A and B are shown apart, each in its own frame.
Chain A
Amino acid sequence: MSAKKDDLHSELPSGLRRFNALRPGINLLYSIIFILLSVLCVVPVIFVIIISFTSQSSIARVGYSFVPAEWSAEAYRYIWHLRDFNGFPTVLRSMLNSLSITIVGTLLGLMLISSMGYVLSRPFFRLKKFYTVFVFIPMIFNGGLLATYVVNAQLLHLKNSYFAIILPLACSTFYIMIMATFFRISIPEGIVESGKIDGAGQLRIFLQLVLPISLPSLATIALFLSFGYWNDWYQASLYLESHRHELFPLQYVLINIEKNIQFLANSDMVASTQSGELPTETMRMAIVVITVVPIMFSYPFFQRYFVSGLTVGAIKG
């Protein structure tokens, strides 16, 4: 896709290219704005990382600081040493669980969302009005926690299964409407028509013609979906029973670690030997780092699709 775009651009006459470029002064202004914004967004994250490597005692003495009095990896060591019943590191196991939930869920979600999005974007579809209302009502009204639980756990029997996490999060009105709008602005009607002339059905047009040119929008939705799955702990807390540790996703495990530590540190009822040394606050930040780092590595994979094509024009043009 983007390779094809690059070719087109390089064919433009050089005069046009210069004409199209942003004036240097304005470009500088824009650059400064973006650099400032980036710093504003990156600094807190660096702060979180620093705190996660600070020793608990220095936080107790002087609070959070960019230059801690004493460094320590105690929080990470504590998390790493938590073992499940087979002696396997809990963090690793749950990370694998999260990974499989995220991959399966994202693929399933993409399928459900893009197909409905495409259908809704067809201007002459007879049920378009009905479908729009059908998709919109659940955004406004929902049956509430109790009824949802009854349907998922008691009717569909999803308890203690990954489907209880994957299915309810796979689709949403918001994503479908975004997707439909994307399709509306980015698919030239000609493509669909030419497909029909070739005798292709809607399914084939959708799979072979529409999806390949919709990578930016698919990447956007995939990004949102995979974040949703990776960060989920709420569904897990509702549908995975608390003794099924082998099923827990990463976020849920980490939240439980944090709660346990809070409990040990605050409780009067547990005479725990180590409670005085628990790295309560650094742990919280270490948990953020552990969850963010793996998914951050996947970010460039998605970003390729919604930034690269963008600036091609500016560089070459």
Chain B
Amino acid sequence: MKKHKWSKDDQQLILLSLPTVIWFVLFCYLPMFGLIIAFKHYQVAPGKGFLYSLFFNSQWNGFENFRFLFANNRDITIAMFRNTIGYNLLFILLDILVPVSLAVMMRNLRSRMLAKVAQTAMFLPHFLSWIVVGYFVFAFLSTDHGLINRFLTALGAAPVSWYQSEAAGYWPWFLIGLHLWKTIGYSMVIYLSSINGIDTEMYEAAMIDGAGKWQQTRHITLPMLKPVIVMMFILAAGKIFNSDFGLFYRTTRNSSSLTSVYMTLDVYVYNSIFNNSRPVFGYISAAGALQSVLGLVMMLLANGVVRKLDRDNALF
């Protein structure tokens, strides 16, 4: 590269981005040497620091740490990968479809008051942690005190043990419903503010041309939202092997009978380290590394698909 090719703009932009670049180097790139724990039998050396322990006191053990991910019975391992990918694919789809439709609907709503109230209300679940959500789900589903079973017995029906295997068929629906309920408000904000950022003159021009609401949505709102949607899609694809731990672990109360419904990679890792007095950082790192590599593959795939369909909005 020749020096004179750097324009003044480029130099100024580099300067402008410098603080953020430094931030990334310090807080993201510097710690990355930790990745090699995944390939070592980490052993702390008495009286020595982490670096010494990692590089001089711990032996390489290849992919031994990764074996832990597949150490459980086959059907559990299969359920774990099936759930992680299955729920995530569904969530990626729903997390785009539902909030985008709702945001567009909200934009067209006549009452500004209702829009404001509804928007605030739908953001509320985001305030509640999964632990708390777990508690009031229990208030509904508890076998003896639960609101639903009290209702069922009042109607003369038999109460259901919601956390036992007899109810396992309902749980995928519960999980999907709870996920949407908790995240809609949050993701809607992103789409709402994008819509709000659209230049109003575009709509005015369309109105003057006689475009109705549906046409405005189709020809202005959705095309303008496309970059945001594509970005959210690619970002989500990179996280497809991670899961919302609280959703799967807390709302099901980690019930043994429901394991095959909610076991995901993150739950598996948590279960193996929980209450374990012997730290197993090698295993945790191995799980993280696997999630990262698979996530990278999925993200590149997603990016490739986008590239095929719409070159402008692809990342790379």
Contacts and interface: CB of A to CB of B under 8 A. Distances in A.
Interface of A: 5, 8-9, 12, 16, 19-22, 27, 30-31, 33-35, 37-42, 44-45, 47-48, 51, 62-64, 111-113, 115-116, 118-119, 122, 124-127, 129, 131-148, 150-152, 154-156, 167-168, 170-171, 173-174, 176-178, 181-182, 184-186, 188, 201-203, 206, 214, 216-217, 219-220, 223, 227, 281, 284-285, 288, 291-292, 295-296, 299-300, 303, 305-315, 317
Contacts of B10: 125-127
A35 B118 contact: yes
Nearest to A293: B127
Contacts of B34: 142-144, 146-148, 150
Nearest to B28: A138
A27 B110 contact: yes
Contacts of A5: 200
A314 B198 contact: no
B157 interface: no
A291 B284 CA distance: 31
Interface in B262-297: 281, 284-285, 288, 292, 295-296
Interface stretch (B78-86, B162-170, B207-215, B249-257): B207-215
Contacts of B135: 64, 281, 284-285
The 5 closest A-B pairs by CB, nearest first: A147-B34, A63-B145, A143-B31, A143-B34, A186-B197
A147 B33 contact: yes
B86 to A, nearest CB: 21
Interface in B181-230: 181, 184-185, 189-190, 192-201, 203-204, 207-208, 210, 212-213, 224-225, 227-228
Contact of A216 (B197, B212, B296): B197
B146 interface: yes
A144 B190 contact: no
Contacts of B89: none
A42 B121 contact: yes
Contact of B185 (A41, A112, A295): A41
Contact of A63 (B114, B125, B139): B139
Nearest to A313: B203
Interface centre among A22, A37, A152, A306 (most CB of B within 10 A): A306
Interface string B1-44: 00001111110111111011101101111111111010000000
B35 A143 contact: yes
A71 B316 CA distance: 59
What is the interface of chain A mostly: helix, strand, loop, or mixed?
helix
Interface centre among B15, B133, B184 (most CB of A within 10 A): B15
Nearest to B299: A140
B22 to A, nearest CB: 9
A63 B28 contact: no
Contacts of A116: 17, 20-21
A143 B17 CA distance: 23
A112 to B, nearest CB: 5
B176 interface: no
B122 A303 contact: no
Contact of B132 (A48, A137, A177): A48
B151 interface: no
Given A5-B200, A220-B189, A143 B136 contact: no
Interface centre among A141, A155, A227, A284 (most CB of B within 10 A): A141
B175 interface: no
Interface string B115-157: 1111111111111110111011001001011100000000000
B272 to A, nearest CB: 15
Given A182-B228, A185-B228, A203-B15, 15 more contacts: A16-B207, A31-B111, A45-B124, A63-B144, A115-B17, A131-B17, A134-B24, A186-B199, A188-B199, A305-B193, A307-B119, A308-B112, A310-B192, A311-B106, A311-B115
A170 B23 contact: yes
